[in-house]
Amino acid sequence: MKNRFFSGMVVAILGLLIILVPVWIFPPCSEVIETAAGNMRMKCFWSGQAEIGIGFLILCGGALLIVFKSPLIRLGLSVMLSLIGVLGILIPTLLIGGCEMATMPCRMTTFPALIILNLLMGGFSAANALHLWRQNKKP
């Protein structure tokens, strides 16, 4: 019970932090670019929106880690959460990206915070998966 509650709470808190970073803690650039086709948002805004979705998935995964008692289900959830952490790292770095200038707020605060949080979450979930796998292999 201790491991189940502890691991679920850690993952849920990291998911909540990933949601709050682009919304409130370190918001990305919110400038709107006016073009002939209409108003467009910058790429870093959309990276932040995608990270909010990633954070919501992580938050739900943390709640499910607390709810389910089966070690095999929690093992599968932990593997899924570690892969979601990898996706959370890829969004600001490779998939969507952000501003080109290194002095913009998204490049200085938002993306480094998101990368660190996703690294922590992915590493913690991978360690939890390894722990549950070893625990399940015992006779």
Closest CA to 110 of 56, 82, 62, 102: 102
36 pLDDT band, cuts 50/70/90, is low
Domain locations in the chain? 2-137
Residue 95 has pLDDT above 80, yes or no: yes
DSSP state of 26: S
Instruction: Return the pLDDT at 29.
Output: 80
Burial (CB count <10 Å: 0-12, 13-18, 19+), residue 36: exposed
Instruction: Return the pLDDT at 1.
Output: 55
Pinpoint the alpha helices (H) of 21-110: 43-67, 71-90, 105
**pLDDT tens sequence across 114-137:** 999 999 999 999 999 999 999 888
**pLDDT tens sequence across 10-35:** 999 999 999 999 999 998 887 666 66
